[in-house]
Structures are given as structure tokens and as C-alpha cells.
Structure 1
Amino acid sequence: MSDPARSFAESNRLQADLHRMVPGGAHTYARGADQYPDDMAPVLVRGAGARVWDADGNEYVEYGIGLRSVTLGHGFAPVVDAACAAIADGMNFSRPTVVEVAAAEDFLALVPSAEMVKFAKNGSDVTTAAIRLARAATGREKIAICNHPFFSVDDWFIGATDMSGGIPADVVQKGLRFSYNDIDSLHALFDAHPGEICAVILEAATATAEPAPGFLESVRELCDAQGALLVFDEMITGFRWSEHGAQGLYGITPDLSCWGKAMGNGFPVSALAGKREYMELGGLNTDRDRVFLLSTTHGPETGSLAAFRAVVEAYRTGSPIAAMETAGRRLADGVNALSAEFGVDDRLEVIGRPSCLVFVTRDPQGVPSQAYRTLFLQEMLERGVLGQSFVTSAAHTDDDIDHTIDAVRAALPIYRQALEAGTLDGLLRGRPVAPALRRLAQPRRLLGS
């Protein structure tokens, strides 16, 4: 794995095919080739635990691990076995199945603050359903959206990003932004739009920021005072901070919460959960106008719900969060110690919650840098480490962490050389990676062209 003479020829050929057939060359922007160094975007074949293999036969320790959707490791046998057993009896029917009952019971037992749940496939399905429900419940249209990177592919959120093409201006204007851990910025929105805000949506915590003392409590109180619903996005925090979600960890009860990613260990399943008085607006037990909440053909397919139940069992009988946090602490300590040893600890560091680490790359002036990030990615890929972050899973072993620390040890002299020279010339082999959500494509050379 540590041989720096890797070939990416087959991955590059396949990536060129993807660019010809798939807009952007990937089905998720965060997975795009523009997120990796030129001609070094592996096209993967399989995974096991925390390791993956690409079309050229290269092996990697993987971080980020399914865009944070895999906490138990790739191919985790109890989850795969449960899903396969369910699939063998049929995946989709014209009536609910017993696994829907059992999965709902499992979920509501895990999240005591939720009184009802509805399953879907993607995170965007349920965040958008939450916003629709909040608008119906309050009769208001505007949304207070925290300045987190991502909530949904739908217009209400994407309209406020740099990729707002095709979204009507009046939709964009209904999304109002406030800052995390800044309760005054949220107060200012309510003051500027009295009686117009239907909901406040935010992540209770992020990879790099814990809630300041009293912040979440103040958000809850402000929503109650202003008649707005509080919506927690638990996509990342759920099953990574706690299997009970951030709401369980911090003791704050939202009106609605949105789940996905790790709840299926990579299987496609998400959930909208919340208080009965709101959730029933999308049901049959209401005398108000009904809300078209969620109605999807594949939302309750048996394989993913069985996978979710197996994940719940793994968390019940084991300690996956403790395992990923242990691996994360060891990795962060090791990398940060090396950065200090090489005298670049103010230019490259690992930060964040141990189960959701990110690495920060800075240029010679100390400014966060995509170009220096690309150099670090390039050198790590050459040494068998794949990841846009250092997000761990319970499957990351001591050997995986040791290999990663060794890769960093080999990469840091090159990173330091670039810092000392004040230039990446002769070190970076292509163009820097670019933010996934950006207005202009500014295309890099298409792989294989």
C-alpha cells in the first residue's frame, strides 16, 4: 500500500466514460473527480471494513467512509445478512410489511423525543418534508436556515448557494440565514420578519463546533416564543455523536428531526421524526387540510429497513461510537504530533469531534488553501490513504491508523517544502480541487481527454 508508484490508468479511463455519460462525472457532487487531484480520482470496485480497492487494484484506507454514511465498516456482515434475508422474500409490495412496524418501533425506542416516524431514501427527502410540514403547521413561508454547508438538494436550500441556477427568486428570498452559536443573529431574523418564519433548521453540532453553553436552549425558547418549529438535521450527528442523536446527547427536544446516512450503514434509508401533532398533518388522523408529507415507492423497501434494524442491534450490543472515537483520537494525536515535529502545526492540523475529524490545510500565510489541500490529498493517495477528511468508522483498526500516520510522516516533508518555497510549482501535478458547490464549473481538464 505504501509504494508511491501507483497507476490510476483504469480509473482514469472509467472516469472519462463517466464524464461522457453522467453530468459532472459522478452522481454526487462531493464524489466528483474535481474533488481530487488531477488523474488521481480512484474509481472503486469493493470495500471491506475500512479498506477499499480501485479498478487498478490499488488498496486504500478510506476516510469519510461513504460520505459519513458507514459507521460499522464496509460489508459489515450482520447488516448485509439481514438485508439479504429480507430481499430474498421480496423488496417491495403494494401494502406495508411487518418490517415497517418493527423498524418504526426500533426507531421510536431509540429516539424518545420522537412520537412518530416516516421512512424515506435520502436526506433531502426528509428535510424538505420537514420544511413543508412546518409551513403547513404555521401558515408561514420563510425559513431560518443555519449557515451549515448542506441541508437539501431542493430549491428552498440550494437557492441560497452558489449553484442557484434554475431556482425562482421568490423561493430564494424565503430562505433566511443565521450563524451557528450566534443567538443574536437568529433574534435579528425574527425581529426583521415578525410572524413570517415557519421553522428554524440547524445541525445541533458540527464536526468543528460544539454548541456554546445555552445556545440550543435559547434557540428552543425563541422558537416557542415566536411560534416557529425547531428542526434538527441529524444526518451526521445521528449514530455518530449518539445513536439517540444530538438531541439525546444535548437534552434538547426538537419539533421535527431528520435522519439518514449512518442509520443504514450505507444502505439507502432516511427518516423524518417528530411530535405527533405535526406529523399527523400528513396522516389520516387530522381535521385540518392534509399535508402531502412523504409518499415514495421505495421508502419502505424491506432491504434497507432490515439493514437499519441490524444497525440498531449493533449499537445495542456493541460500542461503535466509542470505537470510532478511539480511532479518531489516536489518529488526530498522531497526525498533530507529526505536524509539530515537522514544524508545520500551524499550517496542517486535524480538528473536530473524534468521530468526525477534518484536516485543515493552510498556505504559507496561514490562510486555508484548496491548493495545499490538493497537495496533501495527492501525497496521501500515493501512499494508500483515500479521504477528503479523517472521518473514522468502528472498523478502523490500529493497523489502519498506523498506516495513515506513516503516510502523513512521508507526506509532510513535501508539504513543508512547498510552504518554505512559497510555491507549489513542481510539487502539485495538476490544478487545485474546487468547492463542490460553486457557481462556475471552471472545468479542469477532463480525465482521459
Structure 2
Amino acid sequence: MAELGPLAGFARSQQLQRDLHHLVPGGAHTYARGSDQYPEDMAPVLVRGKGAHVWDADGNEFVEYGMGLRAVTLGHAYRPVLDAVRAVLDDGISFTRPTTAELGAAEDFLAPLTAADMVKFAKNGSDVTSAAVRLARAYTGRDLIAVCDQPFFSTDDWFVAALPMNAGVPQTAREQTLRFAYNSLDSLRALFDRHPGAVACVVMEAATALAEPAPGFLQGVRELCDARGAVLVFDEMITGFRWAYPGAQELYGVRPDLACWGKAIGNGFPVAALTGRRELMELGGLRTDAPRVFLLSSTNGPETVSLAALRAVIAAYRDGDPVATMEARGTALADGANAAARDLGVADHFAVIGRPSCLVFTTKDAAGAPSQEMRTLFLQELLRRGILCQSFVVSAAHTPGDIARTVEAVADALRVYRKALEDGPNAFLSGPPVAPALRAFAAPRRL
């Protein structure tokens, strides 16, 4: 396998990051991309990517994981998607009336879905999940939202109300968002019992990287929603086109009333979708006598570039099997990294876990407690070896050579990790540890 070149340091990225902090709150447009998620002065500012590799402003080359916050499954600059985009550029992008591209994209997207009759396109996941909530409230005449205790669903008040980072959210919104536990039908049933006839919808991911549905759980959720008159909303932002094509609802055989899509459906291009049963979706249309729902109305929602990308991504999944490739690469990475941890005697303190196409790693200190310091040390040592990651989320563009190079880098990093377990991480860290992205205060990484 070809070697990555030696790192040139991060001087240019450091300056650019300072400039970003001066002009952009938080220094990035997504909290998960923030410099506080990386070791001090080791947050590369990127300039380009190809396949599973990226290059930063200092000329450093990295094998990248996370892949655009799980949005890129086919690889950066994937040629068939770029060709499809280039093919529409000369014909204009945004018009005052619908285009044939909108009809074609709707037909393509709905074709493999058994639980959806209609689709509405948008630009980001928060818009479509919030549209689903509004639709459910209108359909049921209820206000409360049951949200599964999973990491993230929307930037809007109905969900941010449930986060530690909720300054500026009205108290009324906080009172309308209720939490239940994944894989616990009892917790959801208790919630319905405490608020009879008041829950409009249940919003959840069918699965996450760390939690597969227990036997009968999703079916039980479906039955509870039916019995209590609530709308079931599946968030397929991560599971869609990564767990399976088209998504988790087909994989697990449970049909939601509404589903929200984004990330991988555009391979990095900005496109999201709300799909659902006609009975609900038409409340936002012109074939209803009920009060109309302001569902989605976006100037850029149907622009032709992202719809062309979407259709090219669908073609890649229809004609090939990117999910199988991701599963194979992820399995090889997890097996290799965990074998290295066992060989070095640190398997009780470090592990690569999760679904092979959506891996994460756990970092524990000498006492066996989850540790941000040890996580930071691991990220630091991987960056020094040309691996950029907050997770080990793979794409179909990762090659066996990329995986082998990463496993080798993990083994090298774990040798330092082992010493830090003995002597403490502070002796090896170059700065303060990373911090949770959605914490209530800027400390401990306040600038």
C-alpha cells in the first residue's frame, strides 16, 4: 500500500481556524465540525477530497472517517454523481415552476419504498423532521411529541428543548417534548399513559450505531402508536442508504407513517426528503378540505443540481451494492483494530464497536471510566499518522489499503495509549481534551 506523506504541521490550518472563529460563531457551521472536537491546534481546515482521502490547507493528506458527518457513502468527488450534476448546469438551476427533474426524482426516490406514497424535498434534515412533527400535530390535533433518547433530530425548538444546550428555547417547548428509552416499550407505554390522548407523534431512529432493535421492539412501537392514535416518524438520516437501500424501515420490516431522509441520499450534496402516507402528506397539498399544513416551502428545495445528484446516487445503489462494501470494510477495520488492542493489552480500555458501516470507538481511562482525555490522545496520535476521524464511519470508497493503513496507525497510537494508561494522559497530550459538542457552556474549551 502507498504511504501517506509526512505531515507538514498545522500552521496554516491554525491561522484559518482563528479567522473562522472571528467571522463564524463556533468557528464552523456544524457543532460536530468544531475545533473543540479535535486536539488543541490539530483541527485541519480542509481544501479538497477524493475517494476516502482529504487534504488540508497545509498540504497534509489524511484517510478520512466520518465522511461528511456520515453523508458521503460513495466517496468524495464520486465521478458518476459529478457527471450528473455537470450535465444539468447549462440548463439552469432554479425556476419559478416545477421541473421534470422534480417528478423524476420523486419517482426514483419512492420506487423502493413500501411505506410511502408521496415525497417532499428540502435542503436539510432539520426542516423535514420539523415538517413531520407539524404534520403529525395537524393530523392528530395534539401537541406533545415523544422523542426517543437518541442523539439528534433537529435544530428546531421542539428538539433543542430536550438538549443541555437549550438557551433561548421557550419553556412551553420544553414541556411539549417528552423522552422515552430505546428498546423499552414499557417507557413508551408509560409516557402514553401519563398523557392520554395528547401525544401527536413518536420520533425515533429505528437503530443506531450502538443499538439494534430488540426482537419485537419496533413492531411494538408500531402497535402502540396505532392503539394510541399517534403518528410514527422514523428518522432515516443516518440509517437511510447506510444500513440498507433504501433504509431501516425496509430492513426491519416496520412501516412508519412518515420518514425523514438526508445525508447519504445526496452523497454530500444538500438534499433531504420527507416521505409518508398520502393521507397525511396531502394535508400539505391541494387535495384536502382540512385546514392546510404549512408543510415545506423552500426556494432551493427543488434546485436541479441536488436532485441530479440524488438520482445519480439512487442509480449507484440500484445498480451496485455500496452497503455491502461498507459492511466489509467496516468489519475488517473493527477486527484489525480490536486485534491490535488485544495484542497490546488495552482491550479493556479501547474498542471499536457498532454496526460495521457506522463504527465508533470507545476510550476508557485506567479505572475503566469513559475518558475525554484518552479520546483526545487517541485522536491526536491518529492525526499524527495521517488518519482524520471522530469515528470510524466508513464509505464504499475506502479501499483495503486504506483499512490496512488505518489498522497500522491504530496499533501505533495504542502503544502511546498504553503508556498513558500507566503514566496518565496529561504527560502525552499537547493541549486540553475535547468536549461534548452540545454542552451547555463553552468551557472547558472556551477560547
Which bracket does the TM-score occupy, shorter chain normalised?
Answer: over 0.9
Q: Alignment partner for residue 409 of structure 1, among 404, 408, 411?
A: 411
CA contact (8 A) 1:138 1:198 kept: yes
Superposition deviation, residue 351 in structure 1: 0.4
1:118 maps to 120
2:10 partner amino acid: F
For residue 88 of structure 1, report the CA deviation from its aligned partner. 2.0
Aligned partners of 1:293 and 1:58: how far apart in 2? 44
Query: Aligned-pair distance for 1:244?
Result: 1.9
| Contact 2:154 2:160 (C-alpha < 8 Å) held by counterparts | yes
Which residue in 2 is equivalent to 1:394? 396
- The letter for the 2-side match of 1:430 is G
CA RMSD in angstroms, aligned pairs only:
1.0
Partner of 2:32: 30
Deviation, structure 1 residue 4: 6.6
2:225 pairs with 223, 226, 235, which one? 223
DSSP 3-state at the match of 2:109: helix
For 2:318, the aligned partner's letter is R
Task: Measure, in 1, the Cα distance between the counterparts of 2:219 and 2:429.
Answer: 47
User: How many Å apart are 1:289 and its aligned residue?
Assistant: 0.2
Q: CA 1:175–1:445 in structure 2 vs 1: closer, same or farther (change >3 Å)? A: closer
Displacement after TM superposition at 1:410 (Å): 1.0
Letter aligned with residue 70 of structure 2: R
Cross-structure match for 2:85: 83
Q: Relative to 1, partners in 2 of residues 1:5 and 1:310: Cα closer, same or farther, differing over 3 Å?
A: closer
In the alignment, residue 144 of structure 2 is paired with which amino acid? K
Mapping of 1:328-367 within 5 angstroms? Answer: 328-367=330-369
Q: Is the 8 A contact 2:7 2:386 kept in 1?
A: no
Per the alignment, residue 432 of structure 1 pairs with 433
**How far, CA to CA, are the matches of 1:376 and 1:4 in structure 2?**
19
The one of 181, 198, 201 equivalent to 1:199 is 201
Please tell me whether the aligned partners of residues 72 and 263 of structure 2 are also in contact (alpha carbons under 8 angstroms): yes
Whether 1:237 and 2:234 are equivalent positions in the alignment is no
Measure how far apart 1:437 and its partner are: 0.3
SS at match of 1:242: coil
| CA apart distance, 1:112 | 2.1
Q: CA deviation at 1:444?
A: 2.9
Where 1:379 maps in the other structure, the secondary structure is helix
Q: Deviations over 1:177-196 (max 9, x none)?
A: 00000110001100000000
Matching residue within 181, 184, 192 for 1:182:
184
Kept after mapping to 2: 8 A contact 1:348/1:361: yes
Aligned to 2:216: 214
Give the distance between the partners of 2:176 and 2:369, measured in 1 at CA: 33
On the 8 A contact 2:5/2:60 being kept in 1, the answer is no
Instruction: Give SS of 2:54's match.
Output: strand
Q: Matches of 1:431 and 1:176 in 2, distance apart?
A: 35
Amino acid at match of 1:194: P
Query: Structure 2 unaligned runs (5+)?
Result: none
For the residues of structure 1 that align with 2:137 and 2:14, how far apart are their CA atoms?
Answer: 46
CA distance in structure 1 between the aligned counterparts of 2:18 and 2:355, rounded to whole angstroms:
36
The corresponding residue for 2:259 is: 257
Q: Deviations over 1:217-264 (max 9, x none)?
A: 000000000000000000000000111210000000000000000000
Distance 1:298 1:191 in 2: 42
Is the Cα–Cα contact under 8 Å of residues 3 and 382 in structure 1 kept in the other structure? no
Displacement of 1:30 in angstroms is 0.3
Structure 2 match to 1:101: 103
The unaligned stretches of length 5 or more in structure 1 are none
Q: Percent of pairs identical after alignment?
A: 66
In structure 2, the partner of 1:297 is 299
Cα distance in structure 2, aligned partners of 1:285 and 1:226: 27
Which residue of 11, 14, 25 maps to 2:16?
Answer: 14
Q: Is 1:159 aligned with 2:175?
A: no
Which segment drifts farther, 245-254 or 108-117?
A: 108-117
One-letter amino acid matched to 1:87:
L
Give the counterpart letter for 1:165 in structure 2.
A
Letter in 2 for 1:262: A
Alignment deviations for residues 337-389 of structure 1 (CA, whole Å, 9 cap, x no partner) = 00000001111000000100001111111111111100000000000000100
Tell me how far apart the structure 2 counterparts of residues 445 and 282 of structure 1 sit (CA, whole Å): 44
Paired position in structure 2 for 1:65: 67
Q: CA deviation at 1:299?
A: 0.3
Q: Structure 1, residues 268-315: CA drift from partner, whole Å, max 9, x if none?
A: 000000000000000000010000000000000000000000000001
Evaluate the alpha carbon distance shift between residue 387 and residue 330 of structure 1 in structure 2; reply closer, same or farther with a 3 A threshold.
Answer: same
How far off is 1:443 after superposition? 5.4
- Kept in 2, the 8 Å contact 1:355–1:392? The answer is yes
CA distance in 2, matches of 1:28, 1:173: 26
Secondary structure at 2:68's aligned position in 1? coil
Per the alignment, residue 442 of structure 1 pairs with: 443
Q: C-alpha separation between the residues in 2 aligned to 1:304 and 1:29?
A: 24
Deviation at residue 3 of structure 1 after TM alignment: 6.5
Q: Give me the whole-angstrom Cα distance separating, in 1, the residues matched to 2:133 and 2:171.
A: 18
| Alpha-carbon distance between aligned partners in 2 of 1:110 and 1:37, rounded to the nearest angstrom | 43
Q: Aligned-pair distance for 1:110?
A: 2.1
Q: 1:313 aligns with which of 312, 315, 321?
A: 315
1:368 aligns with one of 367, 370, 384: 370
Task: Give the TM-score normalised by the residue count of structure 2.
Answer: 0.98
- CA displacement 1:368-423 (0-9 Å, x = unmatched): 111110000000000000010000000000111011011111111110001112x1
Change in 2 beyond 3 A, CA 1:431/1:3: farther
What's the TM-score once normalised by structure 1's chain length?
A: 0.98
Question: Aligned in 2, Cα 1:122/1:326: closer, same or farther, shift over 3 Å?
Answer: same
* 2:280 corresponding residue in structure 1: 278
Q: C-alpha distance in 2, partners of 1:384/1:103?
A: 38
Amino acid at match of 1:348: F
> 1:68 is aligned with what amino acid?
R
**Partner SS state of residue 83, structure 1:** helix
In 2, the alpha carbon distance for the partners of 1:339 and 1:285 equals 60
| Alpha-carbon shift at residue 265 of structure 1 (Å) | 0.2
Find out whether 1:168 has 2:173 as its counterpart: no
1:425 Cα shift? 2.2
Structure 2 Cα separation of the partners of residues 91 and 167 of structure 1: 36
Kept in 1, the 8 Å contact 2:349–2:364? The answer is: yes
